Amino acid sequence: MSEILLSNEVLIYLFGESILYLFAIIAFIGALHLLLRWDFSSTSEAQYRLEKRAYLITLIILFILALKILLLPYFAYTIDALSALVPGAMCAAGVIGANDYGYPLLFAKIFLIFSIGIWMIVNRLDVQAIDYPYFRSKYLLYLLLFLLMSMEYGLDLLYFSHISTKEPVQCCSVVFGASGSNVIPLGLTPTMLLAVFYLIYLLNLIFAWQKNPWLLALGGIAFFYFAFEAVVHIFGTYIYELPTHKCPFCMLQGAYYYVGYLLWALLFAGVFFSIANAPLRLLIHRELSSLYRLSRIFNTLFVILVTLYPLVYYIRNGVWL
């Protein structure tokens, strides 16, 4: 068996994912049964049993989805720990690119987490109402989530089973450095990238104040992209205090006080709350004012955090990198 599959971190991760997927299958079967037989207007004993079963299925789904969110940072920790086994890897950047399944798996996990958040909001609105107005919507959405989880679980198995401990991989300095393919997008200079980053942030604040779900969703997607690029090419160099060190993964390590977990969590939360009202309008014709407020809060916290690093560096050293 592969040395990768025998590592403690991977064993724990895959065991957790396997247990959750087993529960997901049970919930999938239960959700199908509920969708086929649910009739809220009925007062029969069968409908009463369905309502009790629906409560149990909802609890199982919430349990699965909550742990899925917690497993994302553990996945990042796992692939970072594997850098000690994969030749050439200095951090998670080399490990995630060790085969063709790594980046599709990472993107699938991010999309799944955002979809999970939408389901949780729909479920909360449904259970708060007296007549379960979004019952069918949330269980149909769970069926789609199950398909995403199935794809993610398959990618998990393919990814970890195809990581070689004999073939060297590219380290982050090659992938994200000046010689790599990840150059600043659209031909922007660092100054222009910073200007675009802060401009989109301010526009998103305006869209949130105006409570425009469509513009805020588009702005959230744009902010996610340019925030990532700004962290890699500018803000991250101040975290590492080295102008040539450009990597979104090394900041997850203890040498940098694990600040990457906080930084990326704030960005994901801010972007999620920016986007959330748009799919809610499409799915259940609702939007929540609290999501606009949370969008402003988390995006602002992210901007404050990344801005503090160059400011503190300049105060301490009197120069910019």
pLDDT at 40: 74
Dihedral in degrees, nearest 10, Cα atoms 290, 294, 295, 297: 140
Q: How many CA atoms lie within 13 A of 256 on its CB side?
A: 23
Give the Cα separation of 152 and 162 in Å (integer). Answer: 15
CA angle 12/17/18 to nearest 5° reads 100
CA 247 and chain centroid, separation: 18
Average pLDDT, consecutive stretches of 10 residues, N- to C-terminus, the chain (321 residues): 88 97 97 88 80 92 96 97 92 93 97 97 93 93 97 98 91 70 82 98 98 98 98 96 93 96 98 98 96 98 98 96 89
Contact between 163 and 86 (Cβ < 8 Å): yes
Give the Cα separation of 276 and 273 in Å (integer). Answer: 5
Contact between 116 and 69 (Cβ < 8 Å): yes
pLDDT at 225: 97
pLDDT at 27: 97
On the 0-12 / 13-18 / 19+ scale of CB atoms within 10 A, 217 is buried
Closest CA to 121 of 274, 225, 276: 276
Full-model pTM: 0.94
How many CB atoms are located within 10 Å of the residue 243 CB?
A: 11
